[in-house]
Amino acid sequence: MELQKTPLKDCFILKPNVYCDERGLFYETYNKKNFEKVTGLTVDFVQDNQSISSKGVLRGLHFQKDALAQAKLVRVVKGKVLDIVVDVRKNSETFGKSFSIILDDVEHLQLFVPRGFAHGFITLSDQSIFSYKCDNYYDKASESGIIYNDATLALDWHLPEEEFIISEKDLELPGFEEAVS
């Protein structure tokens, strides 16, 4: 497993060792010892989630507040997504900055999203299966988010807006300034 830095503090890409032959391929999606060795972090993942989405489905930008914030290790099992994170930690040197990456079933990259980041993705392929490990349990009362088209962030979602499929709940999310106040 190889660690690649991103421009955002504490957020990084993990590239697994993939073994291919005439039968197909094999790689470890997660190994606690290797994760700790490469990252220098001890993260106790307690919940795994998976979603299936069709092209244009935009989920996010989501986060949980305060003590119930979640660190996530995200990956694509099938398909291709644009994954976007935003640092919402007020005391961070990268507060308000975003990072995006294509995650797919070809490169098998994973993104570690630390606590205090808003996270979202949009499916670019016909279908995606998106998987993520969380270090804190989901808590409805502490959930929050940022509207996908916030002018302050000016995020590029790589698809025309008329192709977006967004839940009513996500369409009602506040802008960046309101979400972090």
Closest-CA residue to 75 (of 50, 53, 54): 50
Architecture of domain 2-180: Sandwich (2.60)
pLDDT at 8: 97
Q: Catalytic residue among 108, 119, 132, 148, which?
A: 132
**3: its two tokens:** 């660690």
Give pLDDT, residue 126: 98
Nearest to 175 by CA among 155, 148, 156, 157: 148
* 27 noted as active-site residue: no
What are the residue boundaries of the structural domains of the chain, listed by start?
2-180
| pLDDT value of position 13 | 98
**84: closest CA among 165, 4, 8, 155?**
155
Name the catalytic one among 62, 108, 119, 148: 62
pLDDT at 21: 95
Residue-level pLDDT at 83? 98
pLDDT at 166: 98
Beta bridge partners of 112: 12, 73
Q: Residues in the chain with pLDDT < 50?
A: none
CA–CA separation, 10 vs 93, rounded Å?
Answer: 11
Per-residue pLDDT tens over the stretch 21-68: 999 999 999 999 999 999 999 999 999 999 999 999 999 999 999 999
- 19 annotated active-site: no
Residue 13 C-beta-side C-alpha neighbours within 13 Å: 17
